[in-house]
Chain A
Amino acid sequence: MSKPHLELSSVSMSFPTAKGDFLALDNINLKLDQGEFVSLIGHSGCGKSTVLNIVAGLLQATQGGCMLDGKEVNEPGPERAVVFQNHSLMPWMSAYQNVELAVNQVFGKTMGRKERREWIIHNLELVHMDHALDKRPDELSGGMRQRVGIARALAMQPKVLLMDEPFGALDALTRAHLQDSLMEIQQSLNSTVIMITHDVDEAVLLSDRIVMMTNGPQATIGEILSVKLPRPRNRVALAEDSEYNHLRQEVLQFLYEKQKKVQPLRTSARASAGPLVKAAHRG
């Protein structure tokens, strides 16, 4: 097998707290091929976002590390574009300007002015936002903002696209719509994607592999599920598909039986789980 495109090897992460170091992630190993779509799923606080931030370079792993195309990742950079949960668009810039900020930074030296303009508009067309070039985020709906955020990330032409619950804050209809758009774009660009999600359907529908994480502290990869459903996928047709439902059930089983998260009614119920649980509030 050839060298992996992206590789996380024995990544551990601990945060210093008043009561000593808190080990959030323990020994994460994961390899991704070019063009693969991988979802991270797990209960809140299991360190999914921490994994993503380590790949993004926004956090430094305390042990182990992340390699992209044979180079170690130790700082953020546009080749690992991030789509943030809450769009993170500059509120004082229009949709066009938000994408322009990224394009000028990444392609300012290699593309001419006209070429950059076309590239910006092309990316906004991909997410069907070319009708609102001059609208500012406060004039757009939540789904539209997220689209612009995705366009900004795509416009960096990243090697890996990192998405932190990109559709978490959207209503179900908008979410379905954006999921379809994302599938379409990912297929045509063949981009490598890591997406964090809470949504079992979303994970099965979009992914090539679903990485299921155990509960923190010392969260690690519990199981990895391969989704071999043929693409393009159609959510309506899949609803009756036996394999789709089987995969769904496996994820649900992992989340709600194997990694059942007990929500204690009183704090004393946590005592048996050890003192570290109290610190496990990180997302």
Chain B
Amino acid sequence: MDTVMRYTKPISDFVQQRLPAFSLQGVLRTLGMPIIGIAVFLMLWQLASQNVDTAVGSLPGPAQVWQQSGNLWADYQEEQQRARDFIAMQEARNAQLLERNPEAETRIRPYSGQPTFFHQIGTSLMTVMSGFLLASLVAIPLGILVGLNRHLYAAINPLIQVFKPVSPLAWLPIVTLVVSATYVSDDPMFSRSFVTSVITVSLCSLWPTLINTMMGVNSVSQDLRNVSQVLRLPFLTHVRRVVLPSAIPMIFTGMRLSLGIAWMVLIAAEMLAQNPGLGKFIWDEFQNGSSSSLSRIMVAVIAIGVIGLLLDRTMLMLQRALSWDKSASTQ
């Protein structure tokens, strides 16, 4: 029961954060102000949109953007239907073939239509999670080693300070060239553009996790290290039972920062490198320049924001579930 509670508590907290115990005052305080804020924002947006003219018509207001999001959903449904039809058609034909000749070799070709907005969201999420995972897999072990060893720290710290502020746009050409030169295979498991995006995202988002892990490991209290010394804990036990639990709150803070950066970097990388994903969607719409383009881009902007928020909340939930320190901030 206790362990179940441990994992469901963050979820219930998460829900309750939006839906606190019902009391008129409480509701007004927790829902009222945000609603007023959003309403004022929409009003200002509407006002501004009527007064700004661009090459592709006036700036879309909230209503147009809402409508466009409906269109994007309809496009997606339509495309899904086409894909189903395409598969069904092939299956029917294969059945026919098999009827005539049971030995016949049949196969199903995948549907290769235009990726829609929602497909692009899926691609972007996939890419960001892979890049973030790769970054964490490098940054956490490295951070532990560097944090535990003064000499290694002195050796690596200047490198970190130099590479940390480098913008993704600067990494991208290098990564693209290196990936096209080294990632050569006739039947690649991942497309090259995916690998490029993942590596760029990792390179940019690795730093906060690395630095926070180093700091967390470094700041394990001297008393606890003394206990470990008196017990003569072997290195791995020391790391697993003393260093890691002690550093985990800091590591999670770093990971949350990293995930935020990864998501921002990804959109830029996709725009610039024409890698599939939300960034490419925005870029394509920008190049397209139809009357609905601006509204579609705005839908994408809002989607990017909401997804970024959800990613952050998910990390927070994970932190609450895994860390012994339950006082993780909600900011």
Where the two chains meet, the residues of A that have a C-beta atom closer than 8 Å to any C-beta of B are 56-58, 75-78, 80-82, 84, 86, 88, 90-92, 101-102, 105-106, 136, 156
Give the docked Cα–Cα distance between A85 and B242 (Å): 19
B241/A88 in contact, CB under 8 A: no
- How close is A6's CB to chain B, nearest CB, in angstroms? 16
A76/B241 in contact, CB under 8 A: no
Residue count of chain B within 8 Å CB distance of chain A: 17
Give the docked Cα–Cα distance between A80 and B48 (Å): 75
B232 at the interface (CB under 8 A from A): yes
B231/A106 in contact, CB under 8 A: yes
Where the two chains meet, the residues of B that have a C-beta atom closer than 8 Å to any C-beta of A are 221, 223-224, 226-227, 229-233, 237, 241-242, 245-246, 324-325
Give the docked Cα–Cα distance between A77 and B226 (Å): 10
A84/B233 in contact, CB under 8 A: no
B324/A92 in contact, CB under 8 A: yes
A105/B245 in contact, CB under 8 A: no
Most buried by B among A92, A136, A156: A92
- The 25 sampled A-B contact pairs (Cβ below 8 Å) are A56-B230, A58-B229, A58-B230, A76-B232, A78-B230, A80-B230, A82-B226, A82-B230, A84-B226, A84-B227, A86-B223, A88-B223, A88-B224, A88-B227, A90-B224, A90-B245, A91-B324, A92-B246, A92-B324, A92-B325, A101-B241, A102-B231, A105-B231, A106-B231, A156-B231
- How close is A246's CB to chain B, nearest CB, in angstroms? 38
B224/A105 in contact, CB under 8 A: no
Given A77-B232, A92-B324, A105-B231: A58 in contact with B226 (beta carbons within 8 A): yes
- How close is B160's CB to chain A, nearest CB, in angstroms? 28
B230/A76 in contact, CB under 8 A: yes
Chain A residues lying within 8 Å of B245, measured Cβ to Cβ, are 90, 92
B233/A105 in contact, CB under 8 A: yes
Number of A-B contacts (CB under 8 A): 52
Besides A82-B226, A101-B231, 16 other A-B contacts (C-beta < 8 A):
A56-B230, A57-B229, A58-B230, A75-B229, A76-B232, A77-B230, A78-B230, A84-B227, A86-B223, A88-B227, A91-B324, A92-B325, A101-B233, A101-B241, A105-B232, A136-B324
Chain A residues lying within 8 Å of B221, measured Cβ to Cβ, are 88
Given A90-B241, A91-B324, A92-B245: A76 in contact with B226 (beta carbons within 8 A): yes
Give the docked Cα–Cα distance between A86 and B325 (Å): 19
Give the docked Cα–Cα distance between A77 and B228 (Å): 10
Chain B residues lying within 8 Å of A86, measured Cβ to Cβ, are 223
B226/A88 in contact, CB under 8 A: yes
Checking B230, B233, B324, B325 against A81 with a beta-carbon cut-off of 8 angstroms, the contacting residue is: B230
A84/B223 in contact, CB under 8 A: yes
Chain A residues lying within 8 Å of B324, measured Cβ to Cβ, are 91-92, 136
Chain B residues lying within 8 Å of A56, measured Cβ to Cβ, are 230
Give the docked Cα–Cα distance between A57 and B226 (Å): 10
Give the docked Cα–Cα distance between A106 and B227 (Å): 13
Chain A: CB-nearest residue to B227: A88
Given A88-B224, A88-B227: A78 in contact with B242 (beta carbons within 8 A): no
- How close is A166's CB to chain B, nearest CB, in angstroms? 13
- How close is B231's CB to chain A, nearest CB, in angstroms? 5
Given A90-B241, A90-B245, A91-B324: A78 in contact with B231 (beta carbons within 8 A): yes
Checking A78, A82, A91, A136 against B232 with a beta-carbon cut-off of 8 angstroms, the contacting residue is: A78
- How close is B45's CB to chain A, nearest CB, in angstroms? 47
Chain A residues lying within 8 Å of B226, measured Cβ to Cβ, are 58, 76, 82, 84, 88
Chain A residues lying within 8 Å of B227, measured Cβ to Cβ, are 82, 84, 88, 90
